[in-house]
Chain A
Amino acid sequence: MSGPAFWLLVPFAASVVFGAWAPVAARRMPPRAATFLLSVGSSVVSGGTIVAAALVVALVGGETPVAAEHGHWSVHQLEAMQPFSTGVAVAAVAALILQAGALVHAAERHGRLLGRAWWTSHQATTALVVIDDPGPTAYAVPGWPGRIVASAGLLSAFDSTERRVVLAHEQAHLDGRHDLHLTAVALAAAVNPFLRRVPGACRLSTERWADERAAVAVGDRRVVAETIVRAAAAVPCPSPRMLTFGAARHHVVARVTALLDAPATHRPATELVMGATVLLTAVATALSVRDTKHLFEVAERALQVSAAG
């Protein structure tokens, strides 16, 4: 396999590697760097797979008489150079339809979620909105500006340091625009099933990022760990059948462990492997676009030559 066919395989191979390493990055890397790597990286990798499928469809579709007439190129020349079999073409069409459908669906859903959150936070007048709830609930509602929501139960049960931890943690989600990172990885994963573990990984890295910011605010990482355990103990345990909370439970353990360990340092191996997959995808995508354009140019010239001759 050579030329475009080879370049087109790179994004798919890259997404397998990127998806497999994502949880490692979320757990071990400094959380801010991990979050950016996961959101930007998965967007590039997943964009690369869309472009790859689109190029195959363009090349094979270019052989149809209708397309050739519009584009003014030689069908015979294109056929002679065609790097893809019919099987690959059918797979690419199917992949492109599925990816486009998944992207539209996820974008619509996330757009609605973000829009509702932004609109609600816009309606609030204070930085903190208190809900009348006896349980220790706290969350960040993103927006411009975003708002922190805390339950009356949490504010009365927690001491001043613990309250500070919670407020600083939620404020960090808002300041770091974690909603945008989480939306980016959700869209990337919707398009590319190899990236299905990336959203969970990114949620963990954003939580760790917010934990570290809270630790700076109170000057003690251990206090943050204690506050997390205390708050988690007071939240009613959901039934095990709700798998989505299983991941969140898992994250509480990972966050506390990370806080009890020394602060995370850069992980050259993880960063190199994941960075390389992103870079390779970007390069391969650029090259495959160039190669495909070249094939069409050759086919156009062939038509001009045959017309002249």
Chain B
Amino acid sequence: MLEAEVLAVLWSAGDALTPEEVRRRLGDDLAYTTITTILIRLQEKGAVRREPAGRGFAYAAVLREADLVANRMRALLEDQRDRDGVLSRFVAGLDAKTQAALRQALESGQGQR
């Protein structure tokens, strides 16, 4: 789970980040060494690249254009367009009316948490 979060942070940054920057963006009380360990492992897997930054290193996400696995993952989703597939998708698209109704529900419930 932490590996996924670190990768997500690097992807959203779009730029190379030092381990300390990654740690700050994760916002958890994580040890610096935990972050560096994950980053080094990700680099070994080829998912991030490392570049010198100051006295240490900065890490950036790598888009593997011809990534077979990513293409296969995408093909899986395209294959399972029916209701009883085994993939679980975060959301489906909504029509404008449903969207408006949901926004209203969110706003009317503003007070209670």
Interface residues of A (CB under 8 A from B): 110, 113-114, 116-117, 120, 123-133, 136-142, 147-150, 152, 155-156, 158, 160, 163-164, 166-171, 173, 178-179, 182-183, 185-186, 189, 199-200, 203, 206-207, 210, 220-222, 225-226, 228-229, 231-233, 235-238, 240, 242, 244-245, 247-249, 251-253, 256-257, 260
Residues of B within 8 A of A166 (CB): 90
Of A129, A206, A237, which contacts B95 at CB under 8 A?
Answer: A237
Q: Are A182 and B74 closer than 8 Å at their CB atoms?
A: no
Of B4, B42, B88, which contacts A173 at CB under 8 A?
Answer: B88
Residues of A within 8 A of B91 (CB): 228, 231-232, 235, 248, 252
Residues of B within 8 A of A155 (CB): 8, 11-12
Residues of B within 8 A of A114 (CB): 86
Interface window among B29-37, B51-59, B75-83 = B75-83
In the bound complex, how far is the Cα of B88 from the Cα of A203, in angstroms?
8
Give the contacts of B55-103 with A (CB-CB under 8 A). Answer: 61, 63, 65, 68-70, 72-74, 76-77, 79-96, 98-99, 101-103
Q: How many B residues have CB within 8 A of the partner chain?
A: 55
In the bound complex, how far is the Cα of B78 from the Cα of A21, in angstroms?
32
Residues of A within 8 A of B103 (CB): 229
Chain B CB within 10 Å, residue with most, of A164, A203, A206, A256? A256
Shortest CB–CB separation between residue A214 and chain B, in angstroms?
A: 10
Chain A at the B interface: SS class: helix
Residues of B within 8 A of A178 (CB): 88
Of A150, A203, A226, which contacts B8 at CB under 8 A?
Answer: A150
Shortest CB–CB separation between residue A114 and chain B, in angstroms?
A: 5
Residues of B within 8 A of A167 (CB): 1, 4-5, 8
Residues of B within 8 A of A233 (CB): 94, 99
Residues of A within 8 A of B72 (CB): 120, 123
